[in-house]
Amino acid sequence: MADNVQSLVSSSEWLQRYGLKRNKLSLSQILSQIGFQHRKDYVTTLGKPVASRYADGLFPQYKRAQDGSVYNLTAKKELILHFVDCLIGAIELYEQRMEWLTSESRQIFGVIQEQCIVIVLDFGTAAPTEFDLCRDALSMVLVEQVVQISRFNLIRAAQDLTKWQQKCTPVSERAVKSAVRWLWRLERMTAVSHSSSAEALLEAMADEAVEAVYYFAVGDVPVNTKQLLLEKISDVSCPVNMVSFNAREDETIIFLKELSHLASGRFHAFAEKNNCRDATGPALKYEEDGKGLIALNSGKVKGRRPLGRQYKSQDYADIISNMSE
């Protein structure tokens, strides 16, 4: 895909660059180029608006449903076909962008929009297969997205907090390779406390270079952890973006979404289909609230496995070893 599809920017910023209005393809912009508005002016002596009639029957007319305004169409067929081609191209570009946004690491993690980030890993009580799935997903995020930004770090929330590096490190292929290897050396079972998550997030924000922290929360968040997160994270200067992975309870999704708002961050949720209840409500829909996009189905986040097959640590080592040093 072209760079204009794969830009690591928000949807609103992307539309500012490639949207219809930017390319003079909105309805009002097209109408002004293929005709002129049929005017109505208020005549004081008559005490009512009066429309001119000189163009009646002379031009084809188009009435806008939004405001009832009428346009006389004067363009030749060639110009109208030109706009048809432009609009078809815009539709194709939007479809490619949507396909890209909802595939691979973007489906799992959303789009990383900052240049200097810390990802806080909170694996909770993940089972062995889910723990490997988390590392598959995070490896994909590192290889596909983190490699395109400037600086990063990884911190694991645990009683004995574990950091990949002491501070955010410049991105390079070697650094990404090191981070993937560190990720796959982590032990699944480690001692945690109800304060581990908040402490890891505060540690991440202690690095003054950080533009945003990503909290990668696996499964559900314990009640006592929720309370501490609310106390420590809801009034911070550094935005905290919440990424929910395989949450089982609707309350977890609601809590993390609300917490992202309090922390001036974005929210993204992903779950495997076979980890969710069968949908009994309406078809899959998307909720856009200005801070993030959530896949919803009967109140339950839906998704699918990150890849057609699950990559393992050696797969990612092989991928990155092929990068130039």
> CATH number for the domain including 246?
3.40.50.410
> Are residues 137 and 218 located together in one domain of the fold?
yes
> Are residues 95 and 116 located together in one domain of the fold?
no
> Are residues 175 and 269 located together in one domain of the fold?
yes
Token duo for residue 251 = 């309350």
Which among 29-43, 75-89, 238-252 has the top mean pLDDT?
Answer: 238-252
Per the domain annotation, does 1 fall within a domain? no
Side-chain half-sphere exposure of 190, counting CA atoms within 13 A: 17
pLDDT recorded at residue 288: 37
Pairing of strands 240-245, 151-156: unpaired
Decide: helix, strand or coil at residue 179: helix
Which among 159-163, 204-208, 213-217 has the top mean pLDDT?
Answer: 213-217
> Are residues 51 and 193 located together in one domain of the fold?
no
Across 107-121, 214-228, 299-313, least confident range: 299-313
pLDDT recorded at residue 273: 63
pLDDT recorded at residue 205: 93
**Is residue 217 within 8 Å of 189, Cβ to Cβ?**
no
Per the domain annotation, does 249 fall within a domain? yes
What percentage of the chain exceeds 90 in pLDDT? 48
Per the domain annotation, does 5 fall within a domain? no
How far is residue 156's CA from residue 142's CA, in Å, rounded to a whole number? 15
Token duo for residue 67 = 């405001």
Per the domain annotation, does 53 fall within a domain? yes
How far is residue 1's CA from residue 8's CA, in Å, rounded to a whole number? 13
123 vs 286, which has greater pLDDT?
123
**Cα distances (Å, whole numbers) of residue 312 to 129, 131, 320:** 11, 11, 13
Domain that holds residue 187: 110-321
The residues near 267 (Cβ < 8 Å, ≥ 6 apart) are 241, 242, 244, 256, 257, 260, 261, 291, 292, 294
> Are residues 279 and 164 located together in one domain of the fold?
yes
pTM for the model: 0.73
Which among 95-104, 106-115, 189-198, 234-243 has the top mean pLDDT?
Answer: 106-115
232 vs 211, which has greater pLDDT?
211
The tokens 């779950």 sit on which residue?
Answer: 271
pLDDT band at 135 (very low <50, low <70, confident <90, very high): very high
pLDDT band at 60 (very low <50, low <70, confident <90, very high): confident
> Are residues 127 and 92 located together in one domain of the fold?
no
Q: What are the beta bridge partners of residue 70?
A: 63
At which of 101, 120, 144 does a domain end?
101
How far is residue 270's CA from residue 218's CA, in Å, rounded to a whole number? 10
> Are residues 136 and 94 located together in one domain of the fold?
no
The residues near 268 (Cβ < 8 Å, ≥ 6 apart) are 109, 110, 241, 242, 243, 244, 292, 293, 294
pLDDT band at 235 (very low <50, low <70, confident <90, very high): confident
Q: Looking at the predicted structure, is the pLDDT value of residue 67 above 90?
A: no
At which of 81, 101, 121 does a domain end?
101
59 vs 25, which has greater pLDDT?
25
Q: Residue 148 gets which letter from DSSP? A: G
